[in-house]
Amino acid sequence: MRLHHFLLRSPAWRELDCYARAALVELYSIYNGENNGEIGMSERRLAGVLNCSRPTARTALRQLREHGFIRVRERGSFNRKIPHATEWILTEFPVGSALPSKDFMRWTPAENRAVKFSRVKEVYPPGKGGLPAQELEGPKNAVAGQ
């Protein structure tokens, strides 16, 4: 499976916690190019795969929904003759003949959310591909006397 640079650089991806990122990778691993919208994953199964609790798995799926990476096609239920897991749509990929919506690319952080500060500032040079260069804020390590 491939994680594209546009996805990895999106504000939605950067805002996800590690469990939500791992959950998305698990959902991508089920996708075979033709089964988008038929990707069954329950909270219980995801918790087992990620080796975490059900509430943590539920939070990961909620984050993925809120950030626009996945949508529910059919809600799972135990009240049917044959219980089944929720079926998910990955918004990065097409569903049938419909184009992918890539809802995560339109996601923006809430304005009232506290700004996260980091010691590392990413710099994206215009017109250059590949991974972003990183630049430490503050003085660089310099050899004495230079």
Residue 110 near residue 128 (C-beta atoms within 8 A)? no
Q: Say yes or no to pLDDT of 138 above 50.
A: no
Q: What is the pLDDT of residues 80-110, one digit of tens each?
A: 666 678 899 999 999 988 899 999 999 998 7
Strand partners, 40: 87
**DSSP structure string for 73-132:** EE--BSSSSS-BPPEEEETTS-BTTBPP--GGGG----TTSPPPP-SEEEE--TT--SSP
Q: What is the pLDDT of residue 75?
A: 83
Residue 106 in tokens: 């339109």
Please report which confidence band the pLDDT of residue 7 belongs to, taking 50, 70 and 90 as the band edges. Answer: very high
CB within 8 Å of 67: residues ≥ 6 apart: 12, 13, 15, 16, 20, 104, 107
Q: Which pLDDT does position 83 carry in this prediction?
A: 62
Instruction: Place 1 in a pLDDT band, splitting at 50, 70 and 90.
Output: confident
pLDDT > 70: what percent of the chain? 71
Q: How far apart are the C-alpha atoms of 25 and 31, rounded to whole Å?
A: 10
pTM: 0.71
HSE, CB side, 13 Å, CA atoms: give it for residue 65. 12
Q: Which two tokens stand for residue 124?
A: 């994206």
Both structure tokens of 84: 């089944």
